[in-house]
Amino acid sequence: MEPSNFSDTYILVINGKPEGPFTLQELKARKIKPGDFVRTDGMDDYKEAQEMPQLRELFGFARPMVIPQYFAGFDQRLLASALDWFFISGVCIVIVFFATLFISNDVLRVSVAFSLLFIIPLAKIICHIVMECSAKQGTFGKQILKIKVCDMDGERIGAARSVKRNLLKIVSVLPFFIGYLFSFFNKQQQCMHDMLAGTLVTKERLI
């Protein structure tokens, strides 16, 4: 069977063996169940049909309540933060560099350069707030490491909670980053700001 559009086809596990690919209409004719395992060509692992939005919409499956089980460790979060500092600093430095090319006054040029000390941290905070409540649920660093921010039920957080979480990082930073060390002493590896905001940083399930 050679479907014309493989991106709309699915491999279905039947009696413990993968079969297909099947189109959406063929899956519908087979009356698949919410717990049947399926996979598309672009997926690394099988998922239950009810976990996939397009199949939930087509078959009317209820969204499963998935309790987060795998949490990002301190090392992953630290690396993600380092990557974010690198990307954001790089963009800000390039912008300020080109801006100084059009400034003839040496004092003003130096002042603009020193403004990076304030611009970069501010840009990083804004980036975190916006991206952690977006569909990606994480900054560029988190996306690279495949970790994301969610609420205690594993759902995407709203803008208000994202603002709260990132402002509460002040509590984790002062004094001496003690709030970040809390992640070593609880099963969900929450830092102090996560505990106060009711958020988790999760990673993809183990394969």
Cβ–Cβ < 8 Å for 21, 3:
yes
Task: Give the span between the Cα atoms of 55 and 28, in whole angstroms.
Answer: 10
Task: Give the span between the Cα atoms of 203 and 197, in whole angstroms.
Answer: 19
The helix or strand, by DSSP H or E, that contains position 199, with its residue range, turns out to be strand 199-203
3-state secondary structure of 23: strand
- Which tokens in the block code for residue 117? 């000390």
Q: Could you report the per-residue pLDDT of 7-24, keeping only the tens digit for each?
A: 578 999 998 899 988 988
Can you give the residue ranges of every domain in the chain? 6-59, 74-203
**Is residue 5's pLDDT more than 50?**
no
pTM value is: 0.69
- Residue 44: its pLDDT value, please? 79
- Residue 206: its pLDDT value, please? 53
Task: Give the span between the Cα atoms of 159 and 195, in whole angstroms.
Answer: 17
Q: Could you report the per-residue pLDDT of 173-207, keeping only the tens digit for each?
A: 988 899 999 999 999 999 999 999 999 999 986 54
- Residue 175: its pLDDT value, please? 85
Provide the residue count of the chain: 207
Q: Could you report the per-residue pLDDT of 49-104, keeping only the tens digit for each?
A: 888 888 888 888 876 666 677 999 999 999 999 999 999 999 999 999 999 999 99
